[in-house]
Structure 1
Amino acid sequence: MNQTAVQRLYLMQVGVMPEYRIPIVCALVQTQDGRNILIDTGLPEVIPEEASDFENGQDVVTQLASIGLNPADIDMVISTHYDIDHAGRHAAFTAAQYVVQRAHHLDATSNPRFAALRAEWDQPAERIRLVDGDTELLPGLTLIETSGHVPGHQSVLVRLPRTGTVLLTIDAVPFASSFTRDPQDDADTPDAESIRASTIKLLDLAERERAALVIFGHDEAQWNGLKLLPAYYD
């Protein structure tokens, strides 16, 4: 098996979009040398009126506390993108480095889609690491650029010592039904061409890596069957 510095992967459901039964989720990677790396942070503590279709559950800070971690214990936050259900608690992790695609961060500074959450993601520049394209953060943890849902969206590839390779598609492929090479009815979907390109990229990656598990960003049926914190994949 490929060498990996990753030891565990915890999955958390931190909220829901009740009308569509969509889980709101994030994850925690722990390394063999004791680092704690969050993948997204879920919804904000107070949901803005314009996002009233979301509903908080047990938030990421509370769930981390249940396994003995405080916000100061988080070394890094992988920010897949700045939508309200993915970056809502970024500011809680004041000791962490934030890792985001340069294209996404630069777009967000002038994109009204992300303005309501700016206080969370617009952290001091010295704490933001901007990356360009696919990037290996450490052995066993790789960022995969998957624009389409938004410019500079990123998915995450995790290589675990026992489970094997796990691919978190995040919002590049939010539902298992879309993880296909078949043509999609996407004529009315903004940036459909980029979404399809990123889907094919992830399909190719999953095949090449012989992924043991592909986790989709908002698939209720799948998330109901996954191990959730305090359980973990190792």
Structure 2
Amino acid sequence: MSQDVVKRLYLMQVGSMPQYQIPIVCYLVQTEDGKNILIDSGLPEVMPEGESEFENGRDVIEQLAIIGLTPDDIDTVISTHYDIDHAGRHAAFTKAQYVVQRVHHLDAASNPRFAANRPQWDQPMERIRLVDGDTELLPGLELIETSGHVPGHQSVLVRLPKTGAIVLTVDAVPFGKGFTRDEQEGGSDPDAAAVRASTIKLLDLVEREQIGLVLFGHDQAQWEGLKKLPEYYE
């Protein structure tokens, strides 16, 4: 058996959107050979001027410390996308390789949506791995390209030894009510057709592999019933 097989998944709530009672979350995957793979980094330590939607909680660095980890212990940061509530602490992980969809990274360079958070995600290119579409990072950890919310958004499939497969939809499907083949309102997403296509793609994956646990990116009702760090899924 490969030594870098996934063994554990931690869930962290690092803040919220109080107006909507929406959790801001990120995740940590650990492998048998001791790799620590962070999925998103949550909100920035200091919000950009004029940003009032989000409220910080116990940030990702504080939470990692609970289980004895420092930013230098993180080997990889999977960046699902560069929105400020998902990439707000990227710059803290100076020893990590960042993994992001090429389409997203190239779009972000000129997209004003990501400008305020640029000091976090705009890291040296020798430390950024650009991927194209669905990608297996290592046994038990796969990236699923799910554009729509933004170009080049990616969800994550984690295969655990006891729990089995878990899909982290992130912002491809932020709420459980949207995980349906029925037509949905476009909401704030600029490309409703791509959102729907990515939702169907994830539904097909879940049905095809009979995946029992799908974690939605900002679903407060679901979040309340999940294990949170220092507890974990294995």
TM over 0.5: yes
CA–CA distance in structure 1, aligned partners of residues 188 and 210 of structure 2: 33
Partner amino acid for 1:212?
Answer: G
Aligned to 1:216: 216
SS of structure 2 residue aligned to 1:63: helix
- Tell me the TM-score normalized by structure 1: 0.97
CA–CA distance in structure 2, aligned partners of residues 154 and 18 of structure 1: 25
Q: Call closer, same or farther: CA 1:187–1:128 in 2, change over 3 Å.
A: closer
Aligned to 1:17: 17
CA deviation vs aligned residue, 1:20-46 (integer Å, no higher than 9, x gap): 001000000000110000000000000
Q: Are the counterparts in 2 of residues 4 and 160 from structure 1 also a CA contact under 8 Å?
A: no
Aligned to 2:100: 100
Q: Are the counterparts in 1 of residues 4 and 33 from structure 2 also a CA contact under 8 Å?
A: no
- Unmatched 5+ residue regions in structure 2? none
Aligned to 1:227: 227
Q: Are the counterparts in 2 of residues 4 and 161 from structure 1 also a CA contact under 8 Å?
A: no
Q: CA deviation at 1:229?
A: 0.1
Q: Which moved more, 1:99-108 or 1:42-51?
A: 42-51
CA–CA distance in structure 1, aligned partners of residues 79 and 187 of structure 2: 29
CA–CA distance in structure 2, aligned partners of residues 34 and 190 of structure 1: 39
Q: Call closer, same or farther: CA 1:222–1:187 in 2, change over 3 Å.
A: closer
Alignment of 1:121-160 (within 5 A): 121-160=121-160
Q: CA deviation at 1:51?
A: 2.1
Q: Are the counterparts in 2 of residues 170 and 216 from structure 1 also a CA contact under 8 Å?
A: yes
Alignment of 1:31-110 (within 5 A): 31-110=31-110
- Unmatched 5+ residue regions in structure 1? none
- Tell me the TM-score normalized by structure 2: 0.97
Q: Are the counterparts in 2 of residues 4 and 159 from structure 1 also a CA contact under 8 Å?
A: no
CA–CA distance in structure 2, aligned partners of residues 39 and 189 of structure 1: 22
Q: Call closer, same or farther: CA 1:176–1:53 in 2, change over 3 Å.
A: same
SS of structure 1 residue aligned to 2:115: helix
Paired residues in the alignment total 232
CA–CA distance in structure 2, aligned partners of residues 73 and 215 of structure 1: 25
CA deviation vs aligned residue, 1:125-149 (integer Å, no higher than 9, x gap): 1000000000000010000000000
Q: Are the counterparts in 2 of residues 72 and 94 from structure 1 also a CA contact under 8 Å?
A: yes
CA deviation vs aligned residue, 1:99-130 (integer Å, no higher than 9, x gap): 00000000000000000011100000100000
CA–CA distance in structure 2, aligned partners of residues 189 and 233 of structure 1: 31
Q: Call closer, same or farther: CA 1:118–1:188 in 2, change over 3 Å.
A: closer
CA–CA distance in structure 1, aligned partners of residues 167 and 209 of structure 2: 9
